[in-house]
Each structure stands twice: as structure tokens, then as C-alpha cells.
Amino acid sequence: MPDTTGRFAGRAAIVTGAARGIGAATAARLAEEGAQVLLADRAPEVMARAEAVGGVGLRIDLAARGAGEAVVDTALDAFGRLDILVNNAGIGGSKPLLDSDDDLLERFIETNLTSVLRLTRAAIPHLARPGGRIVSVSSTFGIAGYPGTTAYAVAKAGIAQMTRQLAGELAPEGILVNAVAPGVIETAMTEGHLGSDYYRRAVLEPTPLRRAGRPEEVAAVIAFLASADAAYVAGQVIAVDGGWLAARHPPREAG
């Protein structure tokens, strides 16, 4: 049961991409602190995840037209209000631009950017004023270039710019818009990369903390941005990356 004394008591949230990883950790964190949470994902596991945290599950392809309205309507039907939107859903596996056909480009932009714009557009009229929060998940690759991730990086850069744009538009109405930019986090999306020696030497070892992050560590920052503790924070894209953007260290010598 939600904590009726927690900092999100009486508040309702939508978390997308909530079947696993950062989304699942965020939904659990918000629910633990009292929020009513709608967990949306196209993966069937979302229903069990929702039950585990005492939330409402919705299995849906967020890239489909009309999905944004369907998610918001489900939340309003379940909770009667909407206070927090966490845009986390996305896909990985991008390629260099010359290896990216039209289908790949469209899939990444549609899933990682356009669907976020649509859901956010659907949610804005219903968010609490004042006190509404929009927190989106960008990426360090949307801030600093990294070879071979063009479509993914461009979409995540779009999320960062959407955050700045909407912060200016919505803050006067009492809705605060921010984002996080995770570095390498231990999720299903990064599992294959973390087993690669090249990837570990190119990305993990240059990270000052010398390790991948955990979904719960990103969820903690999202929860902060969704809370009253962040009442004077707007338009920020906060890196949760172990220091990778700030100070990349040379990889250790092999052996």
C-alpha cells in the first residue's frame, strides 16, 4: 500500500517504460513514497510490476497514434487527477548514420522522441497547477557525441531541448519541467554492451566512479525532481552518469 504520509501522498503519477529498469525503479520509488502510479509499457511484464507496487498497469505501444491520450485517460479514470509525468520509455541499439535505413531512423525518432511529445501534449492540460511535474529521461549521448549512436543520440538531444522549451512555457503556470541524462546504467538495454571489453574500456573505465549506475540511483534523482524539494528547479537536464560528462579519465592500461 502507498505511504499516506510520504512526500507524494495524494499525488498521481504516470511512469512510462515501467516494466523494467529505470522505469520500474522509478514507479517503485514514487509508490513507496505515497503516489498512486500508472505504469505503462508495451512489455507484458508491466502488469505484474504494477501489481507488485500497488499501482495500475497499462500494456500499450506508446509509439502508436492515440497512445498518449489513452495513457492519460487511463490515469484520470483510475486516480481522478494527474500530478507527475515521467517520460522514460525508449529503445536502444542505434547505428552509425550511414548504416541507418529509413525504418531504423523512423523507429528511433518515433519511439524516443515523437511519442514523448505526444504523451506530454496529452498530459499538460490535466497536470496540477501549481505543483505539476514533468520529468523526462534523456541521455549523456544526447549531450556529448558518441560514435555509432546517431538516431538514438539525436532523439535524446530532442528530449533535452523539449525540457528547456516546455520549462519556459509551463513554469509560469506552476508546472516544472526537468530531465535526467543517465550514463551507463545496468539495465536490459545495456546488458550486451557491459559484456564488451571495448565498451568497458571506452565508456566505463573513463567514468570517474569506474562503474555502471543502478536504476535505483536514477530513480532517486527523478523522485527529487518530481517532489516539492525541487520547487525552484526548472529546465534542467541533470546527468546521472558517475561523472562521465564532467571528467573522463583515461582508461587503465590493459593487463
Q: What is the mean pLDDT of residues 22-43?
A: 98
Contact 44, 57 (CB under 8 A): no
Q: Which of 152, 198, 199, 232 is catalytic?
A: 152
- Domain presence at residue 246: no
Contact 94, 148 (CB under 8 A): yes
Contacts of 107 (CB under 8 A, 6+ apart): 63, 91
- Domain presence at residue 201: no
Report pTM: 0.93
Long-range contacts, stretch 231-235, CB < 8 angstroms, 24+ apart: 231/176, 233/176, 233/178, 234/167, 234/171, 234/176, 234/177, 234/178, 235/163, 235/164, 235/167, 235/168, 235/171, 235/177, 235/178
- Domain presence at residue 160: yes
pLDDT tens by residue, 144-193: 988 888 999 999 999 999 999 999 999 999 999 999 999 989 877 666 66
- Domain presence at residue 199: no
| Residue range of the domain that includes 102 | 12-184+214-240
- Domain presence at residue 123: yes
Contacts of 202 (CB under 8 A, 6+ apart): 251
Total domains in the chain come to 1
pLDDT level of residue 251 (50, 70, 90 thresholds): low
Contact 244, 208 (CB under 8 A): yes
Position 190, amino acid = T
Residue 245 dihedral angles phi and psi, to the nearest 5°: -70, -30
Q: Is 152 a catalytic residue?
A: yes
pLDDT tens by residue, 46-64: 999 999 999 999 999 999 9
pLDDT tens by residue, 94-142: 789 999 999 999 999 999 999 999 999 999 999 999 999 999 999 999 9
- Domain presence at residue 3: no
What CATH number did the domain enclosing 102 receive? 3.40.50.720
- Domain presence at residue 202: no
- Domain presence at residue 166: yes
The residue with cell 582508461 is: 251
